[in-house]
Structure formats: C-alpha cells, structure tokens
C-alpha cells in the first residue's frame, strides 16, 4: 500500500489499490473430509453473508433502494409537479387575491405538504428535490456503468496484452493526471456541455474511466501470471475465452466495488459542476442546480439550499457505506483497516 503511484482522481476513494489478489475459498473439501456436516455454500453465498454482517451497509442499501423507488416514480411520491407554480391559473387569483404572498418563500411547514418549504415562485421544494434526485441518480448510474464498461475493457486489454494499448492507456492517464481534475472537467463542460443531463453524464464518464482502467489493468497484470491462465493457454483456449471466462470472473469484486465508488464520486462531481453553472441547468432538475437556484437568497431562505444538499450527503454517504460493505464481502483481501 506504500506504492507512490496511488490513485488521486476519485473523491473519497482512499485505499484504492492497483494490486488485487482474489481469495478462492476452499472450505468445501476440508469440511467434507473432516466429517463435519457443513452446508455447502457458493462463493456468492459467502459474499452475501459477509455483506449482511455489515449493518451500516445493509441500512444504507435499504435507504438507497427507497430513494431509488422514489426517484423512479416521482409523479407518485412528489406532492406537486417540478415546475408547478400555484398562481398561474387566473381563477385561483380571483378566488384568493393573497395567493401569491401566501405561497411564495414559505419555510418548511406541514400545511399543504410543503415539508421542505417553497421557493421565490411558490414552487414546492420537496417535489423539486425529488425530481432533482431523479436526474442526479440517473447521471451517477450512467457514469458508473459507462465508465466501468470502458475502463474494464481497456484495463483488461492493457493488462493482458501490454504493448500499444497499455502504452496508450498510461499516456492518456498521464495527460489527465497532470491537469487539475475539476478544472479540466469545467473546461470540457463549459464548451461541450449544454446543460443537458445526457451531455454532462457523457463528459463525466469520459474522465472517470481512466481510474477504473488502471485498477483493472493492475488486477489483470497479476492474474496473467496465475497457473490456471497458463493451464487454459496450454489447453488451447483463445485469448478472448481466457479473458472472458477465466480472468474476468475473478475481477468481479474490484469492478463492482469501484463502480460503487464511482457512483458516489459522480454524484458529488455532478453537483459541483451544476452548482458552478457548467453542469445540468434549468429547466432540467438536478440537486446541484437546485442549490445554485437557491443560492442568491440562500442565507435568508435557508431551506432552499439546505435540503437538496442534505439529499446529496445522504446519497453519497449511503453509497460509500454500501461500497465499504461490498469491499468486505467481495474483496476481503482489500480490508485495509483491521477489524
């Protein structure tokens, strides 16, 4: 762990290491021979057991599932629409002439379900947070899936073959590492982003994949020397078969763990970009953009910046805990802090 080339690009990824060794439990034969009756369990069953021992991770997973369901059906859970202004309908103004002053800038209240208050246009803050969460979660998942797919492919090829692909990967990584990450991201977003969530997600994925590629490359470099790979080669298996059938299943642990960490990093980075005005912009809802919206009046209408931010913290915290639980479950050799 004292190698100087540790990874610096992902926020909150202290302890990502290039070297992974995958433990293969061989308890089954041992217990059989010793005559003790033990239920046969697959490697996944062990992983599941280890994960469920991690209480914080289980609770976090439940919270994430709950937030995910809310984000999937915002129309069902949000009390109002995302852009619903209560006094656009002239009939309502005639019915109640004070509707404007009564509905704007309301602090959090139980009245009419404005649990997170309302903004300068009377829009319900809770509904806006729910719709914003939907976009932010979508972007984070997209970034995690796309960057993991690209990173795994490039990392596997670079680690297995070395040579040109490896060289290209490492040179590209050097190029990205030499510049300040946020500044590069801002520059890209300023000139290629249009405030559209899809564009922002693509830009993020484009910068996030190198970290994963380097990690997978490290795993493949060490797996390449294993006996079973040699055996597969001797048996005449093709390179593609060796990579897909023999090596990739043994890297599933690090891949899943890092994909989880990317979700957290992507949520935080997208929020920062959107807050600075270079990420997702209105009319698209996003948590960072909501905070940007409320910023001008933020010190007075404190609820406009507080609740979207709390949502970000909750998601990032839960994802990090789940990532820790997954690390313990899938990749036990990576436990860095002794229990």
**Interface positions with other proteins (CB under 8 A):** 1-2, 4, 6-8, 11-12, 14-15, 171, 174-175, 177-184, 186-188, 190-192, 264, 268, 271-272, 275-276, 278, 288, 291, 295, 298-300, 302, 305-306, 309, 312-313, 316-317, 320-321, 336-338
d(CA 213, CA 229): 21
In terms of CB distance, is 208 or 321 closer to other proteins? 321
Q: Which two tokens stand for residue 228?
A: 């079973």
Which is nearest to 119 in space by CA: 133, 104, 135? 104
The single residue listed with the structure tokens 């409320």 is 294
Q: Which is nearer to other proteins, 80 or 275 (CB)?
A: 275
The answer to whether 192 and 199 are in contact (CB under 8 A) is yes
Cα separation, 221 vs 162, whole angstroms? 9
Smallest distance from other proteins to CB 102, Å: 23
Least distance (Å) between residue 233 CB and other proteins: 32
Q: Identify whether 283 is preceded by a cis peptide bond (ω within 30 of 0).
A: yes
Residue in 152, 276, 263 with CA at minimum distance from that of residue 214: 152
Closest CA to 50 of 334, 333, 328: 328
Q: Least distance in Å: CB of 69 to other proteins? A: 21
Of 96 and 194, nearer to other proteins (C-beta) is 194
CA distances from 137 to 140, 161, 251, 278, 279 (A): 5, 35, 25, 18, 14
CB of residue 155 vs other proteins: minimum separation in angstroms? 20
- Residue 66 or residue 244: which is nearer to other proteins going by CB? 66
Nearer to other proteins, 160 or 275 (CB): 275
Query: Which C-beta is closer to other proteins: that of 19 or that of 174?
Result: 174
The continuous run of DSSP H or E covering 65 comes out as helix 55-72
CB 137 within 8 A of CB 146: no
Q: DSSP letters along 163-206, please?
A: HHHHHHHHHHHHHHHTS-HHHHHHHHHHHH--S-HHHHHHHHHH
CB of 186 to other proteins, least distance (A): 6
Q: Which residues contact 62 (CB under 8 A, 6 or more apart)?
A: none
**Residue labelled with tokens 């762990």:** 1
Find the shortest distance in angstroms from Cβ 286 to other proteins.
12
Q: Write down the least CB distance from residue 55 to other proteins, Å.
A: 14
CB 197 → other proteins: shortest distance, Å? 18
Looking at the Cβ atoms of 38 and 62, the one nearer to other proteins is 62
Which of residues 28 and 190 has its CB atom nearest to other proteins in the complex?
190
Q: Give the integer Cα–Cα distance in Å for 315 and 268.
A: 9
């Amino acid at each position: 762990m004292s190698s100087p080339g540790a990874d610096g690009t992902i926020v909150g990824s202290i302890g990502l290491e290039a070297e992974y060794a995958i433990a293969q439990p061989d308890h089954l034969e041992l217990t059989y021979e010793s005559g003790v009756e033990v239920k046969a369990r697959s490697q996944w069953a062990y992983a599941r057991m280890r994960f469920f021992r991690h209480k914080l991770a289980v609770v976090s997973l439940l919270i994430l599932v709950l937030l995910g369901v809310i984000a999937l059906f915002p129309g069902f859970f949000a009390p109002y629409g995302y852009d619903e202004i209560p006094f656009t309908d002239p009939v309502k103004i005639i019915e109640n002439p004070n509707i404007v002053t009564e509905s704007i800038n309301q602090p959090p209240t139980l009245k009419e379900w404005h649990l997170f208050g309302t903004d300068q246009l009377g829009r319900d803050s809770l509904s806006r947070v729910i719709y914003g969460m939907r976009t932010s979660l979508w972007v984070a998942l997209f970034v995690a899936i796309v960057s993991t797919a690209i990173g795994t492919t490039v990392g596997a090829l670079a680690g297995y073959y070395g040579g040109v692909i490896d060289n290209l990967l490492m040179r590209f990584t050097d190029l990205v590492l030499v510049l300040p990450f946020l500044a590069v991201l801002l520059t890209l977003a300023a000139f290629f982003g249009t405030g559209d969530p899809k564009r922002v997600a693509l830009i993020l994925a484009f910068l996030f994949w190198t970290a994963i590629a380097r990690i997978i490359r490290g795993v493949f470099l060490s797996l390449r020397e294993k006996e079973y790979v040699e055996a597969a080669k001797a048996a005449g298996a093709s390179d593609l078969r060796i990579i897909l059938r023999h090596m990739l299943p043994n890297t599933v642990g690090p891949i899943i763990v890092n994909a989880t960490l990317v979700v957290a990093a992507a949520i935080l980075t997208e929020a920062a970009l959107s807050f600075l005005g270079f990420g997702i912009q209105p009319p698209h809802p996003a948590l960072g953009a909501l905070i940007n919206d409320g910023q001008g009046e933020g010190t007075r209408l404190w609820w406009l910046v507080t609740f979207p931010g709390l949502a970000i913290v909750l998601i990032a915290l839960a994802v990090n805990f789940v990532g820790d639980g997954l690390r313990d479950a899938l990749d036990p050799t990576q436990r860095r802090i002794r229990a």
